[in-house]
Amino acid sequence: MTSSVSLQTISIGLLLIFNTLISTSADGDFKPKCMSVNDVNQKAERFLDHNRSKLRFPENSLQNRSLSPWVYSVTRDDNRFPHEIPFAECLYKGCFINQREDMSYNSVPVHVKLTIMRKTPCKRHPERYRVKQDSIIVPVACTCAVPNYTK
């Protein structure tokens, strides 16, 4: 009986320690701890350094030589790292074949899943932030495709 009581005591103690490190919302999702602005910026800098090659603006000449040319528009969100992300927008509905737009083909965006970090103010300490990784779907280019015919 003594060993089961001490195991229960240890289990309760570990749960209390774990609960102080990570808070859990009502739906069971784990929330990261609240961080100072300086800590958030340091974490963001490490994240951006690690992902720098994935976050570069793509090569400019390919978008102009494609059968489905596109332009980039930059979206900005100060609560997201990186703050600025280029989104590709197809310039035409059809594809450029033999120097004219051919509507028997479609220009469609090519999407990738990009890992980002989001910061949100802590409810009890609005000068501090929670930071968590998230992912978004980003159009990075356009390509020429046969139309998708559905019956």
How would residue 150 be classed by pLDDT, with cut points 50, 70 and 90?
confident
| Confidence (pLDDT) at 12 | 41
| Confidence (pLDDT) at 15 | 36
8 versus 78: which is more confidently predicted? 78
| Confidence (pLDDT) at 121 | 94
pLDDT at 45 over 50: yes
Q: Which of 21-30, 51-60, 68-77, 98-107 has the lowest mean pLDDT?
A: 21-30
150 versus 21: which is more confidently predicted? 150
- pLDDT above 70 as % of the chain: 72
Classify domain 32-145 by CATH architecture. Ribbon (2.10)
Q: How does pLDDT run across 72-82, given as a tens digit for each residue?
A: 999 999 999 99
Q: How does pLDDT run across 49-91, given as a tens digit for each residue?
A: 877 665 565 566 788 889 999 999 999 999 999 999 999 999 9
Distances (CA, A) of 9 to 3, 20, 34, 73, 141: 10, 17, 28, 57, 57
16 versus 120: which is more confidently predicted? 120
**What is the distance between the alpha carbons of residues 95 and 146, in angstroms, rounded to a whole number?**
10
Q: Whose structure tokens read 């040319």?
A: 69
119: closest CA among 84, 81, 86?
A: 81
pTM: 0.66
| Confidence (pLDDT) at 9 | 39
